[in-house]
């Protein structure tokens, strides 16, 4: 199963949309940098799939309150997600 | 597990450069091997020794050099992308008749073959892009 | 990079240097007999349109780099069918001489075949 990493705001870029259109059942999604705006509890970007994670440091930096449905993770867990999944696919 | 990173973003242009550094540190901290970081496209600016950010802003040069020192990580700057953008070793500056060289200690210029080799040698390759 | 690697090309030509540098990375790997497979998706499909004439904006034709792919042993590219449809590009208009275009309806299933995906 793949890990997809999205670092762009869903309101500015097609990165998240392209990623969601490509994701297979069971793939994981990690939102980092401006990608975390899609993880906000008040996001209008639509529901994220099961298995969505968000870098806590990037959310905190932006004052984004992460939706309960999305797992906040740290850098160590980020590395672990990469170990657990293959391939790792970046969308920017 | 053996990791390599590919970095397309220039330091101080966006967050991706800082993300790559954080991830690289986390890889090493978790006990994995960081085999190579390949700086490509605008990422080649990482190899400039001349960046002088203000004291209260993040240094995105020394930490990479320290990672290399402590963990023997290859820091490869793509030579073709670097020539275009003016990141030159002494020998390249001489060969191309440019007035100065700026490739930082710890970084080496290399061809795209080093990227192909990194994918062949590594269990995981993670790319960092976007401005 | 070889066939356990997929190059995922998502940038339109000329507006982003990464479109050109992505193709250069593919060509360089192919020249060393380590050609990755290549998937054009999203705005990356704009790289495949004919009639590119970037001389007046001071750039070299990226389409010419594409035409070089078969010389280095890349004789098939994957193209996302939905990305073409979203942009009103007909499948007939993206022919590259010497290259077989394989339209992909499920890019997620394609990605799953590879150990590494290099995004460009």
Three-state DSSP class for residue B43: helix
Q: Is A1 exposed, middle or buried (0-12, 13-18, 19+ CB in 10 A)?
A: middle
- Render pLDDT for B47-78 as a digit per residue (tens, 0 to 9): 999 999 999 999 999 999 999 999 999 999 99
Rounded distance, CA A64 to CA A77, Å? 19
Nearest CA in chain B to C19: B41
The enclosing H or E element of A4 equals: strand A3-6
The answer to whether B42 contacts C28, with C-beta atoms less than 8 Å apart, is no
The answer to whether residue B11 scores a pLDDT higher than 70 is yes
Could you report how far apart the first and last alpha carbons of chain B are, in Å?
Answer: 29
Concatenating the DSSP letter of every residue in B20-40 gives: HHHHHHHHHHTT-EEEEEEE-
- Domain of B96? 2-128
What is the DSSP annotation of A37-79?
Answer: GGGBTT--S-PPPSSEEEEHHHHHHTT--B-TTSEEE-HHHHH
Q: How far is A63 from chain C (nearest CA, A)?
A: 29
pLDDT over 80 (residue A66): yes
A5 neighbourhood in chain B, CB within 8 Å: 126
Q: Which chain A residues have any C-beta within 8 angstroms of a chain B C-beta?
A: 5, 7-8, 15, 32-34, 57-58, 75-76, 78-80, 82-83, 86, 88, 90, 92
CATH number for the domain that contains residue B87: 3.40.1260.10
- Residue found by looking up tokens 């242009």 in the block: B13
Nearest to A8 by CA among A25, A27, A33: A33
What single-letter DSSP state applies at residue C77? E
Indicate yes or no: CB of B128 within 8 angstroms of CB of A90: yes
- Specify the pLDDT at position A47: 81
Q: Which stretches of chain C drop beneath a pLDDT of 50?
A: none
Q: Does C24 touch chain B (CB under 8 A)?
A: yes
Identify the structural domains of chain C with CATH numbers, from first to last. 5-119 (3.40.1260.10)
- CATH value of A3-91 in 3.40.1260.10, 3.40.190.10, 1.20.1250.20, 3.40.50.300: 3.40.1260.10
Contact with chain B for residue C18, Cβ under 8 A: yes
pLDDT for res C50: 87
What single-letter DSSP state applies at residue C35?
P
The structural domain count of chain B equals 1
Q: What is the DSSP letter of C64?
A: H
Instruction: Tell whether the model's pLDDT for residue B5 goes beyond 90.
Output: yes
DSSP A17-45: HHHHHHPPTT-EEEE-GGGGGGGBTT--S
Closest partner residue to C42 among A18, A23, A87, by Cβ? A18
B78 catalytic per annotation? yes
- ipTM, 2 decimals? 0.95
> What are the two backbone dihedrals, phi and then psi, of residue B10, each rounded to the nearest 5 degrees?
-75, 150
In A, which residues are within 8 Å of C116 by CB distance? 87-88
Give the per-residue pLDDT at C1: 62
- What confidence score (pLDDT) does residue C2 get? 60
**Model confidence pLDDT, tens digit, residues A5-56:** 999 999 999 999 999 999 999 999 999 999 999 999 887 767 899 999 999 9
pLDDT of residue C4: 93
Q: What is the pLDDT of residue B131?
A: 66
Catalytic position from the list B78, B87, B88, B104? B78
């Amino acid at each position: 199963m793949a890990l997809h990493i999205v670092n762009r705001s869903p309101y500015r870029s097609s990165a998240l949309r392209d990623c969601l259109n490509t994701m297979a059942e069971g793939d994981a999604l990690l939102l980092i940098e401006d990608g975390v705006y899609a993880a906000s509890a008040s996001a209008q970007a639509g529901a994220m799939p099961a298995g969505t994670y968000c870098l806590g440091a990037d959310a905190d930096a932006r004052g984004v309150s992460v939706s309960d449905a999305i797992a906040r993770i740290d850098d160590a867990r980020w590395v672990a997600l990469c170990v657990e999944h293959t391939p790792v696919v970046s969308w920017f | 597990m053996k990791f390599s990173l590919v970095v397309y973003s220039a330091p101080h242009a966006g967050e991706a450069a800082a993300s790559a550094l954080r991830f690289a540190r986390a890889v090493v901290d978790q006990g994995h091997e960081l085999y190579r970081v390949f700086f490509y496209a605008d990422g080649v600016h990482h190899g400039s020794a001349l960046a002088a950010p203000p004291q209260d802003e993040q240094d995105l040069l020394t930490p990479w050099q320290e990672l290399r020192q402590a963990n023997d990580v290859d820091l490869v700057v793509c030579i073709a992308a670097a020539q275009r953008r003016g990141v030159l070793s002494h020998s390249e500056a001489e060969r191309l008749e440019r007035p100065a060289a700026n490739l930082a200690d710890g970084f080496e210029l290399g061809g795209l073959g080093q990227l192909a080799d990194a994918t062949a040698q590594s269990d995981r390759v993670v790319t960092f892009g976007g401005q | 990079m070889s066939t356990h690697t997929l190059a995922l090309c998502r940038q339109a030509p000329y507006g982003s240097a990464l479109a050109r540098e992505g193709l250069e990375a593919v060509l360089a790997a192919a020249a060393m007999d380590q050609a990755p497979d290549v998937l054009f998706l999203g705005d990356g499909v704009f790289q495949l349109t004919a009639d590119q004439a970037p001389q007046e904006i001071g750039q070299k034709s990226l389409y010419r780099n594409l035409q070089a792919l078969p010389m280095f042993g890349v004789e098939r590219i994957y193209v996302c069918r939905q990305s073409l449809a979203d942009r009103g590009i007909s499948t007939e208009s993206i022919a590259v001489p010497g290259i077989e275009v394989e339209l992909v309806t499920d890019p997620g299933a394609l990605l799953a075949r590879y150990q590494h995906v290099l995004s460009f």
